[in-house]
Amino acid sequence: MPFSHLPIIELDSIDSTNNYAMQLIDANKAQHGLTIVTQSQSEGKGQRGKSWLDAPGQSLLMSIIILPQKEINHQFVFNAAVAVAIANVLQNSDQSWDVRIKWPNDIIINAKKAGGILIENILRGSRWTHSVVGLGLNVKQASFPDTLPFATSLKIASGNDIDITKLRNDIRENIIVSAPYLLPPEKIMAQYNEYLYKHNQKQAFSDTTGTWEATILNVHKDGTLEVQLNDGTTAFYHHGQVTWDWAA
């Protein structure tokens, strides 16, 4: 099996697979492709300090250590390459799914969130030495509480049971192959924008000043989201600057 020589650490439970990977890096025990998987996380991490909640044994929870060997200013292109690698595996798994990437790193299937990616980069001086690619993907959940109306799982989307181990291996392999992204950054971003959720559609955003709509145009190499406002002008949002309104 490809990449069988790259170690996988399998844990019953852990606070966070990303935290475990970071500890290995700090202890100089990390290598490219080393993967940590678990059945359950007590302190799973999402974007901007949010928690990732999971039901034991029902989600794909893993972190992969990557040695990026890229310039520091290519960090979002790396994020995009990883997101595209995951989206490609999922789209090829079931052609009936509409797989999308919600800016910047959520995995969307049939207009609902199926998972999220959290990439933590380690910079030492001017060198980008490691990346920890964390993925939480809902796989076997048959339902979600009413408080999560925009959540879904692969089981809900397909109506079938999914082999988590095979899915893990397929996604892991594709990330490890794609992470060095041999394609030019422009092509990576073109692929990312092809998967972009709500591309060329209106979406509501909010911040401390209120709520407004904008048409989503593109995401750029630095991670900024380009939108067209209702008055025809163009605006650029940085991740964390605005809030995505799921109700719209």
Instruction: Please give the mean pLDDT across all residues of the chain.
Output: 91
Q: What's the CA dihedral at 141, 101, 243, 21 to 10 degrees?
A: 70
**223 shares a domain with 185:** no
**Can you give the pLDDT at residue 183?**
81
**114 shares a domain with 208:** no
* Main-chain phi, psi angles of 193, to 5 degrees: -70, -25
Contacts of 46 (CB under 8 A, 6+ apart): 52, 116, 118, 136
**Structural domain contains residue 3:** no
Q: Looking at the 3D structure of the chain, how many domains does it have?
A: 2
**pTM, entire model:** 0.93
For 23-57, the pLDDT digits (tens) are 999 999 999 999 999 999 886 655 444 444 557 88
What mean pLDDT comes out for the span 109-119? Answer: 97
What mean pLDDT comes out for the span 238-246? Answer: 93
Percent of the chain past pLDDT 70, that is, above it, reads 92
**90 shares a domain with 172:** yes
Containing 205, the helix (H) or strand (E) segment is strand 202-207
Domain around 206: 202-244
What mean pLDDT comes out for the span 50-70? Answer: 81
Q: How far apart are CA 201 and CA 120, in angstroms?
A: 30
Confidence of residue 85 (pLDDT cuts 50, 70, 90): very high
Q: How many other β-carbons are positioned within 10 Å of the β-carbon of residue 217?
A: 17
**Structural domain contains residue 2:** no
**209 shares a domain with 146:** no
**140 shares a domain with 51:** yes
CATH code assigned at 83? 3.30.930.10
3-state secondary structure of 131: strand
**214 shares a domain with 119:** no
What mean pLDDT comes out for the span 104-109? Answer: 97
